[in-house]
Structure 1
């Protein structure tokens, strides 16, 4: 894939030094995953890259050089070389993809270059050049994504390029990026142009490329068939250090597959000596002695030795490094610096890192079990994908999986997840035919917006069960690089709800839900029948089912403890042939404690035959059992999961029913209200920030005129108001605006408090207005409205309706958070506010408007006319799009928004802006 350049083969004029225009933008540095699953680093070009760029150029083929420069050049002339590496990071920008890590002693090598030169306001000419050895790995697409993101930060909105017709690869990169590309041929050169503002299609293309790349990188780890285990070299296992014991345990887990010939395993520093042992394991004294390539490395070394090992493992072609050792970010600043160096070495060599402090990974594929973990005995193979972070929790999870008889397809323990995270594994599980159900225990979520996007894609066709450490998601364990958050604690709940995942409260519930999702078909509905051994038990089950969100149909079958086989069969038949039943709860606990020999088989066969989702609580049965297993009409084994208590069974079934309903429902399309001009809004915000000269990151509060201009760009009209000092000015304002008017104080504590007298409505004439002004001024006398703020505000009266509050806040962790509530003390005091995290679909917006408990007031409450909910949904959609597109809008409040039977009126608006850097930028592997 050769690049394209402006006519004449060279970029525009260079600045004198790389520092002219803007400082070196370290925020553009990134570690990214390519479509072959390997990693590389992206960063802005520097003047000291001249030698590396020349070496890159010399190594290119004659064809690539011709397509790049429209001529053959064996070497870049010194003048051109200096121009190419000297940029101002504003009007001239260049990014390079590199391998190696100089800070860790590995020289960098340039793999690709992307650059733009501003040719007119908001338009830049672009050029790309990818090394011959890295073509076909998606590097051109990655560089285009990152260059476009950098360009948008600098106010560029359009790319143009000149491409030779035979440069089909580059033309395909532009066309396949999802932008609306226009091209024409002139003088034998293809002229290409396209806007670089994100579109639904360009975002989908980028997400799909990211999905395939990250899935493939995980596949390289989980399907590895050659492994090297690196330990500290302690000879006496009884006296060994923890790393030595860890390495020995991993090796023991790999040996069975080595004996069968399905794995090739090498060790360094594990046991004594070198050579081939009687199990088939190859032992070596040094990493450099291991014959490559090797796909996976498991490292258990003191933290200070890991960096050198990683550098040597990279030379073996290792694709994944499972790091069992601790002593990194959780150990303080020195450990964090060590972790950064490690990731630089690993990503520079194309490796993903699982850990530090990982329990390891387990995976079964094509009859081969890769046990690169610390587990003493792995669970049996199955179809559950399991992800956790901490190593101790992995022990608990695996023991619970084993007790319940659940089969495991994969387990990955990410430890402190310096690199590999739950998002990566969900990308893999989206493509994996060996996995039916996914469960994740998350101690922290470092990128909630990406989590929501990836989980939503996966949950559309596979259940995803999630347990978080703490309900708020604000827990940050030592060693986890997580941004601080100011978002309300309910924000995480909304992220998970939008994602379609099943959220549970503890490990017990997680596996309860997994049991039914993995071994039963999804519920067709919530209509529930109960088969129980007594009326008391039936009542208990019915109560538990209703609490779990299920709907009781009245179908309750009772089975006496001494029921005959014929009576059991007849009762089961009546339940499963009832057309009004979707799901079944079976509870039979004999008082004599004798196992039922008939009911389990009858229930299993009926459930498998009819497809009715079934859960049970039976004496002496727990988890996945043979007694409750039968084949469905397609020959697939279906097991009715058994639970310890009826409440557990009903709760798990309720979760399954809610997930099935979410999966079957229309999830909508992204909202794009007409008349939202994010470019104009972006220019306004950039201009305001530049004019303010603020460098401390403190939010800049916009005045009413600036706020109205910002909202106008989003198609939101704020009703004009006039701020005044006294009654004379108030009367003059009312004459201009038109009677009747509303008059209110600008004192924040009283601004929206009609109940306290801070707001007077329907003021019809001058006499009434002067009296109201006197009353408000007297009321607000002890309050300060703020420096240089007139104490009163006059506004034309809006139609009567229900007052709402719409807010958007840019959070460092969650990004934009939208909220909606019906205005008033009750909503504020009771927290009756709905939250959403953009981007939102039309269904998300509709749900957001209907979620507050006070929402019925919008729909004709107690005989009042229904209000214009569609107008409110349109307003929320506009705020959502604005907040999603402009992270520099730190906060926005529309208060009050009066919704009437025909339309709405935004009567107050308050906004602040500040530079922001979102966690979910394309730089998804940027080092902490």
Structure 2
């Protein structure tokens, strides 16, 4: 890393704390947060000895406006195989680390190459003046690549305003592209000023906060002139310029000049360029975020103490739902029945069809034990289902206490989501949201954050799901109530934060999301070991 100075990187400090006995990474981040000559911090982190102190250091850097870019190595985790809940299996070590870094305000990257480029970009980029990004390239293909990466990372590429479009149309040949991305074509080699003028027109447009310039060809004659133009543009408009070096002549003419340029950042990958811009924009949005307001009742934690103290290490579904209800989370009604006759009576009162589930404090995953029957249509089917559930449960766990079944009305259809929480031994209470319900581990679409969360943070967490379009209404399906989902996420985060000394994990799985709200169909609360 230190040898990046050989190609123009400017380091104010360089520390190696691999075998630290007293001063550690948190101390160094705190020190650099106050160092005026340091504009961004690049951090390679192997282990975390004290998450609380690192969080304090991150908050200090955040208050000082000092970006911290972190690359976490040693990310393997073997604990997921032993997890007792869905949340435990999907919110592993790396997810907990990511949640900690996000709460610290750190920008997390996944490789060493990105660490250096991100740190340089953040050191040079001021706060965004606008959300839009413009692209100018003499290659149509490079412009398409930029558009692809912008879409991948959610970076907006708005089209020019009318006055900007008129200016571009005067500069760009008919066979070029007077739009965003802008392709002034190869004629910029014969008329270099046309490149600078296209860039200037887009930089003067108030809807653009940054300019991306992909360079596909390294040419000895044109390189120096292009560097001078970019230096002039960066100084004039005070907006970040990102130069993407696409040529395989890695140290071709101009490369070293762009490395040395203080007002522009050189990226060696279009992907990393737009990932950095997306992180820069996300950091700015977070700075504008509001103050967290509590959603659950102030006495919610006190109301569940009796239930938590009386229960075993795992609460039953019914007990777990009582805990969730105390925090204002909507849950599906259920009634316990210890016999087939009692189950039949309850079903008649609720109304067929119904769902039956095994009621046992020792059977945590009822589906795997054959302990669930859905859509039971009448009393004959109910008595048969009751017998099958009890027999399957006895075969699955011969020594388990079987209390009977839970009888529930059939729930309305919707998008199935998991909302869970656990207390990570290193970073503390975290909350997880994933798509798929019981299929969440198979789909692998889950995101994690430190608890408790604000409503804005919960909405941002949901927006990070890869399959969020399902929640927004896909192919004519009605959109889910995202405000209700975010509210449930906030309340679960408050539950785990309030009860972290008593509760180890919480699962709402599935939580059905519909246009009219959300409803927890199943729930599991695991207590901390004594």
Q: Does the alignment reach a TM-score above 0.5?
A: yes
Give the secondary structure class of the aligned counterpart of 1:490.
helix
Asked whether the equivalents of residues 301 and 499 of structure 2 are also in contact (C-alpha less than 8 Å), the reply is no
Instruction: Give the structure with the higher percent helix.
Output: 2
Give the secondary structure class of the aligned counterpart of 1:807.
strand
User: Aligned residue for 1:352?
Assistant: none
User: Aligned residue for 2:407?
Assistant: 794
Aligned pair count? 486
Larger relative CO (CA 8 A, sep 6+): 1 or 2? Answer: 2
TM-score normalised by structure 1 residue count: 0.46
User: Aligned residue for 1:585?
Assistant: 212
Offset of residue 728 of structure 1:
1.6
Offset of residue 660 of structure 1:
2.8
Do the aligned partners of residues 456 and 730 (structure 1) sit closer, same or farther apart at CA in structure 2, a change above 3 Å counting?
Answer: same
Asked whether the equivalents of residues 335 and 408 of structure 2 are also in contact (C-alpha less than 8 Å), the reply is yes
Offset of residue 554 of structure 1:
2.7
User: Aligned residue for 2:95?
Assistant: 490
User: Aligned residue for 2:492?
Assistant: 879
User: Aligned residue for 1:412?
Assistant: 15
Do the aligned partners of residues 711 and 800 (structure 1) sit closer, same or farther apart at CA in structure 2, a change above 3 Å counting?
Answer: same
Asked whether the equivalents of residues 739 and 796 of structure 1 are also in contact (C-alpha less than 8 Å), the reply is yes
User: Aligned residue for 1:159?
Assistant: none
Equivalents in 2 of 1:802, 1:473: separation in Å? Answer: 30
Where do residues 149-160 of structure 1 align in structure 2 (5 Å cutoff)?
A: none
Equivalents in 2 of 1:539, 1:705: separation in Å? Answer: 54
Q: Aligned to 2:306, which of 684, 689, 708?
A: 684
Offset of residue 609 of structure 1:
0.3
1:439 aligns with 2:61: no
Q: Deviations over 1:778-802 (max 9, x none)?
A: 7667434751214532124444444
Equivalents in 2 of 1:508, 1:620: separation in Å? Answer: 21
Offset of residue 829 of structure 1:
1.0
User: Aligned residue for 1:662?
Assistant: 283
User: Aligned residue for 1:283?
Assistant: none
Offset of residue 587 of structure 1:
4.6
Where do residues 100-249 of structure 1 align in structure 2 (5 Å cutoff)?
A: none
Q: Please, what is the CA RMSD of the aligned residues?
A: 4.0
Equivalents in 2 of 1:838, 1:896: separation in Å? Answer: 20
User: Aligned residue for 2:297?
Assistant: 675
Offset of residue 891 of structure 1:
1.9
Equivalents in 2 of 1:757, 1:703: separation in Å? Answer: 13
Asked whether the equivalents of residues 227 and 257 of structure 2 are also in contact (C-alpha less than 8 Å), the reply is no
Do the aligned partners of residues 550 and 596 (structure 1) sit closer, same or farther apart at CA in structure 2, a change above 3 Å counting?
Answer: same
Asked whether the equivalents of residues 444 and 474 of structure 1 are also in contact (C-alpha less than 8 Å), the reply is no
User: Aligned residue for 1:426?
Assistant: 29
Give the secondary structure class of the aligned counterpart of 2:18.
coil
User: Aligned residue for 1:651?
Assistant: 272
Q: Deviations over 1:698-749 (max 9, x none)?
A: xx22345654554454344654534445422311333555655322345859
Equivalents in 2 of 1:542, 1:804: separation in Å? Answer: 31
User: Aligned residue for 1:818?
Assistant: 431
1:620 aligns with 2:265: no
1:761 aligns with 2:394: no
Give the secondary structure class of the aligned counterpart of 2:13.
strand
1:805 aligns with 2:429: no
Equivalents in 2 of 1:660, 1:854: separation in Å? Answer: 22
Do the aligned partners of residues 572 and 731 (structure 1) sit closer, same or farther apart at CA in structure 2, a change above 3 Å counting?
Answer: closer
Offset of residue 880 of structure 1:
1.0
Where do residues 547-562 of structure 1 align in structure 2 (5 Å cutoff)?
A: 550-552=155-157, 553-560=180-187, 562=189
Do the aligned partners of residues 769 and 501 (structure 1) sit closer, same or farther apart at CA in structure 2, a change above 3 Å counting?
Answer: same
Equivalents in 2 of 1:782, 1:761: separation in Å? Answer: 23
Offset of residue 593 of structure 1:
3.9
Equivalents in 1 of 2:68, 2:319: separation in Å? Answer: 44
Asked whether the equivalents of residues 897 and 905 of structure 1 are also in contact (C-alpha less than 8 Å), the reply is yes
1:506 aligns with 2:111: yes
Where do residues 73-112 of structure 1 align in structure 2 (5 Å cutoff)?
A: none
Do the aligned partners of residues 757 and 874 (structure 1) sit closer, same or farther apart at CA in structure 2, a change above 3 Å counting?
Answer: same
Do the aligned partners of residues 817 and 578 (structure 1) sit closer, same or farther apart at CA in structure 2, a change above 3 Å counting?
Answer: closer
Q: Aligned to 2:386, which of 773, 780, 801?
A: 773
Asked whether the equivalents of residues 805 and 896 of structure 1 are also in contact (C-alpha less than 8 Å), the reply is yes
1:530 aligns with 2:145: no
User: Aligned residue for 1:639?
Assistant: 263
Do the aligned partners of residues 907 and 569 (structure 1) sit closer, same or farther apart at CA in structure 2, a change above 3 Å counting?
Answer: closer
Equivalents in 1 of 2:301, 2:26: separation in Å? Answer: 31
**Most deviating of 657-666 and 709-718:** 709-718
Equivalents in 2 of 1:911, 1:668: separation in Å? Answer: 30
Equivalents in 2 of 1:786, 1:900: separation in Å? Answer: 39
Equivalents in 1 of 2:459, 2:18: separation in Å? Answer: 39
Do the aligned partners of residues 442 and 724 (structure 1) sit closer, same or farther apart at CA in structure 2, a change above 3 Å counting?
Answer: same
Asked whether the equivalents of residues 188 and 195 of structure 2 are also in contact (C-alpha less than 8 Å), the reply is no
Equivalents in 2 of 1:844, 1:499: separation in Å? Answer: 14
User: Aligned residue for 1:374?
Assistant: none
Q: Deviations over 1:673-693 (max 9, x none)?
A: 14242551574378449xx8x
Do the aligned partners of residues 908 and 566 (structure 1) sit closer, same or farther apart at CA in structure 2, a change above 3 Å counting?
Answer: closer
Equivalents in 2 of 1:653, 1:824: separation in Å? Answer: 32
Give the secondary structure class of the aligned counterpart of 1:412.
coil
Q: Deviations over 1:189-214 (max 9, x none)?
A: xxxxxxxxxxxxxxxxxxxxxxxxxx
Where do residues 221-370 of structure 1 align in structure 2 (5 Å cutoff)?
A: none
TM-score normalised by structure 2 residue count: 0.76
Asked whether the equivalents of residues 741 and 762 of structure 1 are also in contact (C-alpha less than 8 Å), the reply is yes
Asked whether the equivalents of residues 501 and 659 of structure 1 are also in contact (C-alpha less than 8 Å), the reply is no
For structure 1, the residue ranges without an aligned partner over 5 or more in a row are 1-396, 476-484, 629-637, 693-699, 917-928
Do the aligned partners of residues 626 and 605 (structure 1) sit closer, same or farther apart at CA in structure 2, a change above 3 Å counting?
Answer: farther
Offset of residue 581 of structure 1:
4.3
For structure 2, the residue ranges without an aligned partner over 5 or more in a row are 80-89, 158-179, 246-250
Equivalents in 2 of 1:411, 1:785: separation in Å? Answer: 61
Equivalents in 1 of 2:238, 2:44: separation in Å? Answer: 30
